[in-house]
């Protein structure tokens, strides 16, 4: 083989062997394919030996076939954990009373550095969508116009779809919700 040029004998052998290998592979696939057995009589298998046996009671003489309802005897609990559960619930209650914020979500309608654009978005919001109460915040260096307080993204999704009709850039963002 000359450097940089392929050996033509090898290329010629490969050219003749490639179609043969493809034919061999196709023949193998066709030979391995399953064929449906053709039969004149329909398939039938008796599975009744494997079915559970149900005993049907003899019918009563015209009376209601419903079984009479017995009142169960009262059961007194023996191994209760009420005191332990009460302690845990009390500790959870004390913790919740000290919490001031909870993780939640809000819908951000506008975010930018231009105060006039933020005020215009708030005005458009009050005209187009009066059912929503918007809040304009300045968090240096941005103005943020947000709507609503939601505990989950799923809860915020219907309002997000309504807001996106007027504000295409509206998104759900995480935010701390003040507990009152």
Length of the chain counted residue by residue: 180
Q: Helices marked H in the chain — which ranges?
A: 8-32, 82-98, 115-128, 153-166
pLDDT band at 38 (very low <50, low <70, confident <90, very high): low
* Span 155-177, pLDDT tens digits: 999 999 999 999 999 999 999 98
Contact indicator for 137, 148 with CB cutoff of 8 Å: no
Beta carbons within 10 angstroms of residue 155's beta carbon: 14
Rg (CA), the chain: 38
User: Is-above-0.85 flag for pTM?
Assistant: no
Domains within the chain, CATH numbers bracketed? 101-178 (3.30.70.1070)
* Span 90-135, pLDDT tens digits: 999 999 889 899 999 999 999 999 999 999 999 999 999 999 999 9
Distance CA 86, CA 78 (A): 17
């Amino acid at each position: 083989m000359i450097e940089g040029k392929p050996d033509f004998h090898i290329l010629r052998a490969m050219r003749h062997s490639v179609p043969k290998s493809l034919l061999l592979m196709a023949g193998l696939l066709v030979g391995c394919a399953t064929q449906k057995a053709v039969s004149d009589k329909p398939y039938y298998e008796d599975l009744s030996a494997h079915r559970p046996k149900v005993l049907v009671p003899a019918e009563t003489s015209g009376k209601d076939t419903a079984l009479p309802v017995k009142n169960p005897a009262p059961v007194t609990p023996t191994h209760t954990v009420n005191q332990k559960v009460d302690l845990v619930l009390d500790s959870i209650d004390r913790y919740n009373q000290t919490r001031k914020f909870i993780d939640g979500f809000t819908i951000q309608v506008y975010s930018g550095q231009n105060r006039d654009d933020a005020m215009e978005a708030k005005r458009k919001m009050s005209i187009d969508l009066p059912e929503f109460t918007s809040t304009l915040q300045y968090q240096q260096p941005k103005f943020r116009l947000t709507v609503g307080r939601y505990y989950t993204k799923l809860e915020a999704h219907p309002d997000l779809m309504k807001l996106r009709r007027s504000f295409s850039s509206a998104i759900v963002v995480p935010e701390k919700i003040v507990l009152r």
